[in-house]
Structure 1
């Protein structure tokens, strides 16, 4: 095989990259900037003040939650989409809704999912998967969680499974970093150092998530959830609830 043919084959295999970059960019309007993803009251409770505190949060909560709950469910949803098993997709959507019992976390997920779904419909109008899920959402049979819409998006774009898991995990950490700049008043440089520290462990969290069977999936963090639930009645806050 000539070098030109090899280069063309490589480009063909990576045809999903430009679209993935578009839908993963902060410019993609999902409304994530308006939510703290539960971090606001937790940061106040734990008196977070620095990028090091954010790194500790990644290690003790955000990373394990990705490995034990979010990434496994992303995989289950995508497998169900591939199998055209929409009953299971909706069942998984309902399970995700139940796991996110604190309104701050649940509503942020639904808000992001709704925004992403709306724009995906405009970008890829002919997608039967998007239309099927949109119809279920419109009739109240689907909750519209961001994780489910992300799985739809990755399958629509033919993103390899590993790249989809990595991308979703990166976006999750980046959302916390974006919120921390306002909450902790850390510099953009400190925020990037914290993100880099989280990304060093991201491959391990992704690898661990692949070993989690559905009956064992879950992440129990009652103190974090309780702090998140207090957000709605907090005296002052930077993010919506």
Structure 2
């Protein structure tokens, strides 16, 4: 919000409240001079102001007090509101190319998130990329290009490690080979992919199996079972406890048989 707009708004609010004060002052003097049965005359003060100022100084002071009070109240209210807006939003505006350069938004791809481009996708315009502001939140409906326009380009250019929630698997298909060619180790973890595609695996029991102390193995199995076997239904807590004991017993038996 610019200073000119703020000043204009304050002036307009002050004039409006002063007009309200003038209306009330006109009503007071009209009924005072002509009685309550008289018709309200909006122009009464304007037509008789000089005479009132010369012959009735007390009424003139009353007029000034009413109009001035309303005008002052309007000015203070508008200043308070404009000050709140300035405090909340500051001088908010879209950055120009010069401001973006000064604020470090033209960094090299891979040093931060690529957020966009100053020109069309095929142009040689500069990328909008900043390592000064490392966080980004992308919000858009389904099918609007979040993956193809943001996730995949950043996976192709980002020079550090990345953990990606890739529900459809399209990010892996589009970027895994390139990341591997750059020297990165790429792991695809999809334990529920029943079609037999390549996936890495994780066995939470393997770490417990490698422990040497049977008592510690039992404790770790109980902790693992407590994490896996949970329910908010109080009626099944007894059954759940039995399931945990059965899980621990089966795990210890598998460890003894080395299976």
Which TM-score band (shorter chain)? under 0.3
- Using the size of structure 1 for normalisation, the TM-score is 0.23
Q: Which has the higher contact order (CA 8 A, sep 6+)?
A: 1
Q: Which is richer in helix?
A: 1
- Using the size of structure 2 for normalisation, the TM-score is 0.22
